[in-house]
Structure 1
Amino acid sequence: MSYVVAVVGATGNVGQEMLNILDELDFPVSKLHALASRKSKGVEVAFGDRTVKCEDLETFEFSTVDIVLMSAGGAVSKEWSEKIGKAGAMVIDNSSAFRMDPDVPLIVPEVNPDDIRLAKKKNIVANPNCSTAQLVVALKPLHDAAKITRAVVSTYQSVSGAGKEGMDELWNQTKAIYGLGDATPKFFPKQIAFNVLPFIGSFRDDGYTDEEAKMWDETQKMLDPDIRLTVTCVRVPVFVGHSEAVTVEFDRPITPDEARAILRDAPGVMVVDKQEADGYVTPVDAAGEFAVYVSRIRQDPTVPNGLSFWVVSDNLRKGAALNAVQIAQLLDESGTIQPKSGYRSITV
């Protein structure tokens, strides 16, 4: 069977990565539509060895589509996702618009695949925050083995998490500083080149940011509402790849060797953990890869039953586009959706 698929936001970083991964995973696409704003109508984007011209989101007929991969931001999703769902297409939304909606499943296939049964309520499935996705892939197998009671997470998030404007700002500031030019911030609140910013999103009344709150809200929704999390989200001058320093407390003792063995057997996880100068994974190593990498697994001697470790993943892939396509695969494999036509003949 094959599906008519539309990618909304096809000219953006994540939209383009969605097109790449649909092709890489050989997802059964009978016809693909690339959708964007009116100003991008006619712009060509790559899909495998072909190009597709962008169509106007405002005038597109969604009743002809089986699956919509939505990556155009929260405002666009709030305006369009429910309309698209009512038209009969299944929306996989990469924004935060519906993540905490009780009638919308929030899915990481390695973590809570059974929640896909809720997808037909609104014909919307939510993709988690990019930092949450990689975190829960690492936490889930450990939580199954020894219940996690508390976690402390510090993120080191790349500028691609802020979109093309974030990447452009890092590139332009770096060039300006080397060339003694103007490095005045235009997109981020402070200079990002050769700097780190302990602020992502917007401040809440409790002093945390909404980006930090997303991580504990989403982890609790997908994994366990009783896990207590405290989070500090930091933007770093890295183009692609989010990293996280994680300290976890369990309800029973668990050794680093036991944790390594559990994680090595877990879906979507790669353990690279040698006590050598290069025995860990960095964002540069993870860029372009599908896996969530775990390194630096060690005992935390300051709390009972504590472990600390380092988690890295390509935020445009597992943190966004790859997880969305994996959700599409899960919808197909679980029989949650059926294509309107069943023959596979690629047409673009």
Structure 2
Amino acid sequence: MPSYMMISRKIILKKIAIFSLLCFACASAFAQNGNPVSLHGALSVENGKILDQHHIEPQLRGISLSWSVWAGRKYYNNDVVKWLKSDFNISLLRISMAVEPDSGYLKDQAGQEQLITKTIDAAIKQNLYVLIDWHDHHASKNVEASKLFFIKMAKKYAGKPNVIYEIWNEPERVSWPLIKDYAVQVITEIRKYDANNLIVVGSPAWDQDVDITAKDPISGFKNIAYSFHFYASDPSHQEKLMAKADAAIQMGLPLFVTEWGVGESDGNGVFDRTKTATWLNWLEKNKLSWANWNITDKDETTAILKPGASVKGKWPVQMLTPAGDYIRSQLNELNRK
């Protein structure tokens, strides 16, 4: 009798374990297709990795809206956000708030805040992660405006696990000490109101010189990651650039690919599918989260939409560019694994 009881107990425990694994797998599939924030929860940084509430790497994948001025502005709305979630199956949306151009934040603070916050709120309602991107190449010249902006965002979104702060898009050829000084000032203000949400810091040379950043990362704050950008078909964005990122990863720098495109660094040029596949495989191997550039209907290589695409989403395949069709297919395949 005792032996029988022991065998039965082992069988029951095994069945419970199998059932638990199946439940987790189902929850994972549901979260990728419906509610990634429920599965992954608040993000944190530990030992050089971005982790979720289960202490695993979530690998978020999604799309960046274009500059919140010019042609891209019209796609900052709830209908587009809903379509990107349901049809492109994104888990991440990047909000690229233009800072310096005419009608950007420095010229139209109230208008830009209204535009981006309604889009951020739409993403949160759809249970997506959302990058709030200070889309500025010269942020160190606009540090006071940046601090005031991120204070507002931190007050409004503190405690929302969806929200990630990207505090400087693509610093140009400026030194890491200058970028680091700017970042510390802005992070200090954010942390007064939001103690935990992930903050992403830029690196020199348009977020490419992450190997330089990795030698002297920011200390004294938790949950800090660093952006890395590439354009997959650009001749100068191949092995040498990938090696920089590999070196940074080996040095323990937590990377977040907040922007990448299938074309070249000017947004145009060729779309080389072989080179793009190489970069995508690299992202998968390193389990890096990413946002593809970009939702706009401009006539250029990295644009997702053809000119005249509806401002309400519901785009037929015929209104997607080759980049758009490719990225949509990749997102649906990868986020449903």
Query: Could you say whether these structures have the same fold, taking a TM-score greater than 0.5 normalized by the shorter chain as the test?
Result: no
Higher percent of residues as helix:
2
Higher percent of residues as strand:
1
TM norm structure 1: 0.30
